[in-house]
Every structure is written in structure tokens, then in C-alpha cells.
């Protein structure tokens, strides 16, 4: 598989790119359903291989995939369904969540990885983006005419589901960051060397 960034392949069968634990970061890519199934993954919904393949397609996003988390979420793109990956059971479950606008792209995944008195958790949120966009468009059109109607306020996000999750393992996170920093340093050094070679070739000033 062609890839710009090197990845770490985890024993879970999901792929992890070294990154920080920002709430909604995409932290990896998954392989085909056939490859995941061969690695032991199953559909908890009893979906057949064809349905799973069509829902996941090829090489989509893995969100909230860190070594310490119990769950990850898989999504081919923002308009496709989200699957919850239970990393211990190696099961994928379709998240049957509906946004107010009907657009799956309004779904946001928030990871609270630090315990602020209520534990750590994942929340799946309906951002309301498209409804707010339509509201702003409507208000823009109405601004050309006269109206005494009272307009409702901005569309606010709504939490659709919350799942308990492990908190950030800072030792593991620091190790991931250190490994990524070393990769970035090596890449920067390689780019610098290649740039000097190209300048040498073009100018002859070596």
C-alpha cells in the first residue's frame, strides 16, 4: 500500500499514526474488511461480508485509536456510517445515530481523555452544522426584506451518545510523541539533504 506517512501496525488490526490525544483527531487508517476479518474482526450486527465491505469500503479513518483506549470508531468518510470497534472483543457495531439535519457529516466524536471529576469518555455529538448553515442562509435572505418575526438563536450541538473510556496513558502518549518527533527529524534531515543535492545539480556549486 502506498502511503506518505509511516505507520505503526498494532496487534488489534487497526493502524495508528503517532499523534497527540486531541479530542477529535483522526489517529489512523483501517484496511479492507477482508483484511480485518482475516485478523479476527467480526460484525456484532450479523452483517454479511458484502454489507460490511460496502459500508467500510477501502482504507477509511480510525478515530480515537490509542494504545490505551477500549474503543475506536471507523468511518470511510464523513457521509458514511460510523462503526464502533471494541478492541478487546474485536467486534464492529454499526452506530445507528441520526442527526437533526439527517447528514452524517454533522456527527462529531469527542474524546475526554482527562478525568475532570466525571471520568473519561467518548461522546458522539450532533454538531448541528447544516441546520445552522441553513438558518444563516435564511436570515441572509430575510435581511433584504422587512420582518417583525423573532428568529430563534443559533443551533446548538446535542450529545447523542456517551461511552465510558480509559483515560490518557501519559507514559504511552509521551512515547508516541517521542517516536513521531524522531521520524519528523529524520524526514526533515532527508529533505534538507535532497534539497542540497538538487541545488548542486542545478547550479554546480557543490
Question: What pLDDT score was predicted for residue 180?
Answer: 80
What's the CA gap between 67 and 179, in Å, rounded? 14
Joined together, the cell numbers standing for residue 37 give: 476479518
pLDDT at position 92 over 90 = yes
- Looking at the chain, the number of H-run helices and the number of E-run strands are 4, 11
Question: What pLDDT score was predicted for residue 152?
Answer: 67
Joined together, the cell numbers standing for residue 155 give: 443551533
Residues 6+ apart with CB under 8 A from 55: 47, 76, 80, 81, 83, 94
Pick the more confident residue, 110 or 199.
Answer: 110
What's the predicted TM-score (pTM) here? 0.72
User: CB neighbours (10 Å) of residue 104?
Assistant: 17
Pick the more confident residue, 10 or 96.
Answer: 96
Q: Looking at 22-26, 130-134, 156-160, 165-169, which range is the least confident one?
A: 22-26
The answer to whether the beta carbons of residues 57 and 96 sit under 8 Å apart is no
Average pLDDT, the chain: 81
What's the CA gap between 38 and 100, in Å, rounded? 37
- Tens digits of residue pLDDT in 36-50: 999 999 999 999 999
Residues 6+ apart with CB under 8 A from 109: 23, 24, 63, 64, 73, 82, 122, 123, 124, 125
Residue spans per domain, the chain = 8-168, 169-206
Question: What pLDDT score was predicted for residue 136?
Answer: 85
Amino acid at each position: 500500500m502506498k502511503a506518505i506517512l509511516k505507520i505503526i501496525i498494532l496487534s488489534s488490526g487497526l493502524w495508528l499514526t503517532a499523534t497527540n490525544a486531541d479530542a477529535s483527531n483522526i489517529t489512523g487508517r483501517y484496511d479492507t474488511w477482508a483484511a480485518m476479518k482475516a485478523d479476527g474482526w467480526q460484525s456484532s450486527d450479523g452483517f454479511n461480508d458484502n454489507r460490511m465491505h460496502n459500508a467500510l469500503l477501502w482504507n477509511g479513518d480510525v478515530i480515537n485509536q490509542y494504545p490505551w483506549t477500549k474503543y475506536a470508531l471507523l468511518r470511510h468518510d464523513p457521509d458514511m456510517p460510523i462503526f464502533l470497534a471494541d478492541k478487546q472483543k474485536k467486534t464492529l457495531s454499526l452506530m445507528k445515530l441520526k442527526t437533526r439535519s439527517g447528514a452524517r457529516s454533522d456527527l462529531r466524536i469527542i474524546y475526554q481523555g482527562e478525568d475532570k471529576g466525571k471520568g473519561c469518555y467518548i461522546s458522539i455529538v450532533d454538531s448541528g452544522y447544516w441546520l445552522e448553515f441553513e438558518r444563516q442562509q435564511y436570515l441572509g435572505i430575510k435581511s433584504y426584506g422587512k420582518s417583525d418575526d423573532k428568529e430563534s438563536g443559533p443551533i446548538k450541538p446535542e450529545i447523542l451518545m456517551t461511552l465510558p473510556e480509559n483515560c490518557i496513558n501519559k507514559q504511552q502518549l509521551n512515547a508516541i510523541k517521542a517516536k513521531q518527533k524522531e521520524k519528523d527529524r529524520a524526514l526533515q534531515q532527508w529533505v534538507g539533504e535532497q534539497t542540497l543535492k538538487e541545488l548542486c545539480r542545478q547550479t554546480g556549486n557543490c
